[in-house]
Chain A
Amino acid sequence: MKGGYAGKFLRVDLSSGSVSEEPLPSDEILRKYIGGLGLGAWIINNEVPMNVHALDPENRLVFTTGPITGTLIQSSSDWTVTSVRHELHSKVIHGSHSHGYWGAFLKLNGFDGIIVQGAAASPTYLWIHDGEAELRDASGIWGLDTHETEDAVVVDIGMVAETSVAAIGPAGENLVEAASIENDKMHSASKGMGCIMGAKKLKAIAVTRGPYPVPIANPKEFLQVSLEWHKTVEGTHVIAHAARARPPDAGDAPYFTTGKNFSDPEWSKEFRRGVSEESEKFPVHPRGCWACPSPCAYGIDVTTGPHAGYEATLAGGFENSEGAAAMAGVDEPGTVLYLTDLVDRLGLDVGTPSCAIGLAIECFEKGILTKEKTGGLELRWGDAEMTEKLWRMIAYKEGFGAILAEGPKKTAEYIGGEAPNMVVHVKGSGPNLHDWRARPSIIVGQAVCPAGPCWQGSLGSELMGEPDLGFEPQDPWEMKGKGALLAGTQKRSTFEDVNGVCWFAANINMRRTPGYHTLMARSIATAVGWDDFSHEEVLEVGERVMNLQRVYGIRRGMTKADDLDIGPRFMEPHTTGAYAGLDIRPHLVGMIEEFYESMGWSKEEGKPLPETLKRLGLDDLIPPLYAEPAGSKPT
């Protein structure tokens, strides 16, 4: 190993208050798991026994970067936080990704990652600077929202310039399952990693840009690979749409927008058009992540409506706005941006809570849910003030908010009656929020993803073709072959979760470009110095990490029934529009089984076969998987 990696991990034991350095695992292990989610999952599998609950001090919260993080490859800003996912009853290993400067700054301090264990007695934050780390008292900032926390931490360390802060908000402190970790005001690591940080009483990790150079094994070649990568992405600058908060109204895009608990695609379509057009009038200030000229992160000044004068700091596509506002039927553009920012400030992910909010409002409108069960709240579509109140109640687990915070499936059980037939969820948690009923492979992807519903599940087979995986965009109506293609796209997606590059900014156009896998392999080869790292190895690493996650999940009780556990509304066909009648329900089991078989897993249980694990060098996972009685270990 000659480059790419900084060379060591930081281990933080919050119970004893100690901070120590340790070397990276061997070259062999690094090549098997690379970094990011891969190394994180490897550490969780090694260090967190099967009976440890996500919120127990013995659970680990592993912050990792990849060998490409902080380099010159387009948007090499990715950092990952991996842990046992509380949202899914501690059954799976999940890696959440965030961007901005944080990961690059960490690496410039000489660390490839941070392993956090134990739990602090009182609120604490970690400050990394000059290649050193110190734990500091966070009593004074406990209770602040994520943006306030970032500012307060920078003040507390003495206004040190070039400091990037990753923090939890009230949701993480109150152990809300869907709490996220926010950094650089605009970015978040979602899917419940914030509540694990909250359980450890770790309020924030501040990283000041460090003085240690990141070595590159073959700088000349690496410059060329970076340039090639940049030039390939150039054609589809995210800057022109996401960064303007107005995704284009092109093609099928409107059909993917969701709102009102997936009950009204026509309203959702209008929501997208209205917010896109209106917010076009708001001044936008794009800000790039590390080495990313396609900034999907931006500040935006709301100039009209009740929140005129508010400045929101957002990132990504429309997903967060659909969750924060559209699911409650709110469509006033300024309010939509305000609510989206509010959810970030509270330190929440939109997916899970918004599916609960949408369900509750629809049930209330239909008389299935009454004031007796909402604590006197009257829930109506489009009530912006009530929506804001609900988000706050969720973050603080107050009253009816405590029910919603449990997620859509439990909310449906609480409401009772018809509610369980109207709910959107995957394994009880919220999916990535778009209306994927027009793109069924993405629903299946969310269902079978070994980390639970998240973008590791991939963008499926219909949105774009991938020459390197040998397929053209698939017809959404064609159900055959979706499972098999999904196995390929998930392996590729998983590799994009380990190398340190943001898939959203950098990879969307790449996937359509022949030779993408080779370029990824060359970036690793020239950065690290593994000259023979090949494009076959790219998919193999992705597959290995997926299998590790799957085995861990099965050992903790994940079954095929969990993969089939999808909220009925998420699969209910549209009744109008171009995709009316597209029904995946009769094909679901078949698609999932096709995916299992393509992965080398048993058709009956989705259990990785011994020969699959052997081929991937995961021999040591065979005895525990086949000897132990399956599952139900966590309390």
Chain B
Amino acid sequence: MTKGLLINASRCIACRACEVACSLSHEGEIDPSKSLIGMQLFNEAYFYYPMVCAQCEIPYCALNCPTRALEKNPETGQVDFIADKCINCNLCTVTCPFGAVTVRDGLAHKCDLCDGDPWCVKFCEVGAISYGELPEPADHLRALPYLRFTDEVVPLTPVTGDAPTA
């Protein structure tokens, strides 16, 4: 089983704490454009969700990477990025169907799952992002890129204390 980030779009409220936490923990500064998890916003429809590396079963980014800087890890099932091998050819950004790989400063960037303790999950109090075992895609989807959305509702913290009064 592959561990990765699960997205529950119905929970997302577009607070963007995931983007801020990601850029702050990786870059030491606040810049959503450098976040490895990116908000998709359809404000008029109140529909929003974060897009992030799906650790695809068959990762197009890795298939097309000429230097194997991106590679499916046979043990963890995750798509690893080896910075030393990256030659800044941009093929990964073109082939990833989710826009989850970006290239800046001559290097590809994608979600590294924060060594198994993702900051975005810690700050997602509404439970739109969780870290766990990704659901197996159905057989007919196995060869296709498959974003791991989930219907599972992560319970919110129960309400305690008094109501705000303003």
Q: Which residues of A contact B (CB under 8 A)?
A: 70-72, 108, 161-162, 209, 211-216, 219, 222-223, 226-227, 230, 234-242, 247-248, 250-251, 253, 256, 285-295, 299, 316-317, 319, 432, 434, 455, 459, 463-464, 504, 508-509, 512
Contact = CB atoms under 8 A, between A and B. Distances in A.
A509 B161 contact: yes
Given A211-B33, A226-B123, A219 B166 contact: no
B156 A219 contact: no
Interface string B25-38: 10111111110000
B157 A237 contact: yes
B159 A236 contact: yes
Contacts of B15: 288-293, 295
Contacts of B27: 213
A227 B30 contact: no
Given A248-B163, A286-B13, A508-B164, A213 B31 contact: yes
Nearest to A75: B15
Contacts of B126: 239, 288, 293
A256 B126 CA distance: 29
A459 B17 contact: no
B33 to A, nearest CB: 6
B109 to A, nearest CB: 15
A230 B159 contact: no
Interface of B: 13-17, 20-21, 23-25, 27-34, 41, 43, 46, 119, 122-126, 156-157, 159-166
B46 A285 contact: yes
Contact of A162 (B23, B25, B41, B123): B41
Contacts of A222: 24
Nearest to B29: A213
Contacts of A285: 46
20 contacts: A71-B20, A72-B20, A161-B41, A211-B33, A213-B27, A213-B30, A215-B30, A216-B28, A219-B28, A237-B157, A239-B156, A240-B159, A242-B164, A253-B165, A285-B46, A288-B15, A432-B166, A459-B165, A504-B164, A509-B161
A297 to B, nearest CB: 9
Nearest to A222: B24
7 A-B pairs closest in CB distance: A288-B15, A285-B46, A213-B31, A293-B125, A288-B13, A213-B29, A214-B30
A236 B161 contact: yes
Contacts of A237: 125, 156-157, 159
A71 B14 CA distance: 15
A241 B162 contact: no
A108 B123 CA distance: 21
Contacts of B14: 287-288
Given A235-B157, A288-B15, A317 B30 contact: no
Interface-centre pick from A219, A223, A293, A434 (highest chain B CB count, 10 A)? A293
Contacts of A250: 162-163
Given A108-B31, A219-B25, A291-B123, 15 more contacts: A72-B21, A72-B24, A214-B31, A219-B28, A219-B29, A236-B160, A287-B13, A287-B14, A287-B46, A288-B13, A293-B17, A316-B166, A432-B166, A434-B165, A504-B166
Given A209-B32, A213-B30, A219-B29, A235 B13 contact: no
Contacts of B17: 72, 230, 291-293
Contacts of A108: 30-32
Contacts of B32: 108, 209
B125 A230 contact: yes
Contacts of A295: 13, 15
A110 to B, nearest CB: 12
Nearest to B128: A293
B9 to A, nearest CB: 13
A247 B165 CA distance: 8
B158 to A, nearest CB: 9
B46 A299 contact: yes
B39 to A, nearest CB: 9
A259 to B, nearest CB: 16
A389 B166 CA distance: 27
A240 B161 CA distance: 12
Contacts of A223: 21, 24-25, 119
